[in-house]
Structure 1
Amino acid sequence: MKKELIEILCQKSFKYSKEPVFKLVSGKMSQFYVNCKPTTLSPRGMFLVGHLVFDEIKELNVTGVGGLTFGADPIATATAFASELKSRPIKAFSIRKTQKDHGIVKWIEGDMSPGEQVVIIDDVATTGGSTIKAIERARSEGLDVVKAVILVDRQEGGLENIRKHVEDVSAIISRDELIRQWSSDNDS
């Protein structure tokens, strides 16, 4: 499953250039760009992501999986769906970028209650900033964050930064794995 997901990410979500031409959120320029949404929103990509993330967290005693909208949303939904297929249901939730200012004022959407153990997910980690923000917001709503799972680690210190906020952090796919696949696909 992982090999197939790497192939799909290289086809739909990964761009590489010998010169740093891609501007990141930080303003820094990079040789590569990863936008996981074309993959995580595709039927096969969603299937693979859901199963791979579920396999990463299935041994934990967690009831929810989610992260900062929008990057985490398709991953959380796919994971929740896969968890039900495997008879080990884990709920999906979404963390807002801006706090709701009407009705019940809260950061989190989904059927979650304070005290529940959860996994925070993100599609890509560079510095880890959005994942850390999600961890902080989940905790402010009373959730117990026990792990963070990143779909693609750009290998630029993000996992190490996230680890300062939650000890158990893992990535499904690394930048090096994407570059190896991309190079293999483009050498012909």
Structure 2
Amino acid sequence: MKQELIKLLCEKSFKYSEEPIFKLVSGRMSQFYVNCKPTTLDSRGMFLAGHLVFEAVKDAGIHGIGGLTFGADPIAVAASFASGLKDVPIKAFSIRKTQKDHGIVKWIEGDLMPGQKVAIIDDVATTGGSTIMAVERARSEGLEVVKAVILVDRQEGGLENIKKYVPDTVSIITRDDLVRYIKENPLPE
């Protein structure tokens, strides 16, 4: 499954250049561009990501899985669905970027109670900032964050930064996995 997901990510979500031509959110230029959404919103990509993330969290004793909207949402739903297929139900949840200001004011959408154990997920980690924000917001709502899973680690310090907040942090795929695949399987020009 992992190799198939790497292939799909390289076809739909990953760009690589010998020169830094891709502008990041920080304004910095990079050799690598990763946008997982075309893959995680694809039916096969969703299937693969969901099963691989479920495998990464199945023994963590969690009640829920989610992260900052929108990158984490399709992965959380897919992993929750995979957990149901495996008869180990884990609820999906989503963490808002801006706090709801009407009704019941909260950061999180989903069916979880304070004190429950959760895993925070993200589609890509560069510095880890959005994942750390999700961890802090989940904790502010009373959830116990016991694991973090990153679908693609850009290997730029994000995983190490997240581990300061959640020691049990893993990635499914690394930038090196994607670059290796591209170099071994060049796309037709």
Once the two structures are superposed, the pairs formed by residues 62-101 of structure 1 within 5 Å of their partners are: 62-101=62-101
Once the two structures are superposed, the pairs formed by residues 4-19 of structure 1 within 5 Å of their partners are: 4-19=4-19
Match of 2:120 in 1: 120
How many correspondences in the alignment? 188
Q: Distance in 2 between matches of 1:18 and 1:150?
A: 25
Match of 2:176 in 1: 176
Match of 1:48 in 2: 48
Tell me by how many angstroms 1:187 deviates.
Answer: 7.5
Runs of 5+ unmatched residues, structure 1: none
Tell me by how many angstroms 1:60 deviates.
Answer: 1.2
Letter aligned with residue 116 of structure 2: E
Q: Distance in 2 between matches of 1:55 and 1:165?
A: 22
TM-score, normalized by length of structure 2? 0.98
Aligned-residue CA RMSD (Å): 0.9
CA shift digits 1:61-117 (9 cap, x unpaired): 100000000000000000000000000000000000000111110000010110000
Runs of 4+ in 1 over 2 A off after TM superposition: none
Q: Distance in 1 between matches of 2:16 and 2:100?
A: 37
Once the two structures are superposed, the pairs formed by residues 19-58 of structure 1 within 5 Å of their partners are: 19-58=19-58
Partner SS state of residue 186, structure 1: coil
Match of 2:142 in 1: 142
Paired-residue identity, %: 73
TM-score, normalized by length of structure 1? 0.98
Match of 2:156 in 1: 156
Partner SS state of residue 60, structure 1: coil
Tell me by how many angstroms 1:186 deviates.
Answer: 1.2
Match of 2:102 in 1: 102
Tell me by how many angstroms 1:18 deviates.
Answer: 1.4
Match of 1:111 in 2: 111
Q: Distance in 1 between matches of 2:89 and 2:83?
A: 5
Q: Distance in 2 between matches of 1:40 and 1:85?
A: 18
Q: Distance in 2 between matches of 1:90 and 1:178?
A: 29
Tell me by how many angstroms 1:185 deviates.
Answer: 1.7
Q: Distance in 1 between matches of 2:129 and 2:60?
A: 24
Letter aligned with residue 2 of structure 1: K
Letter aligned with residue 140 of structure 1: S
Tell me by how many angstroms 1:19 deviates.
Answer: 1.2
Partner SS state of residue 83, structure 2: helix
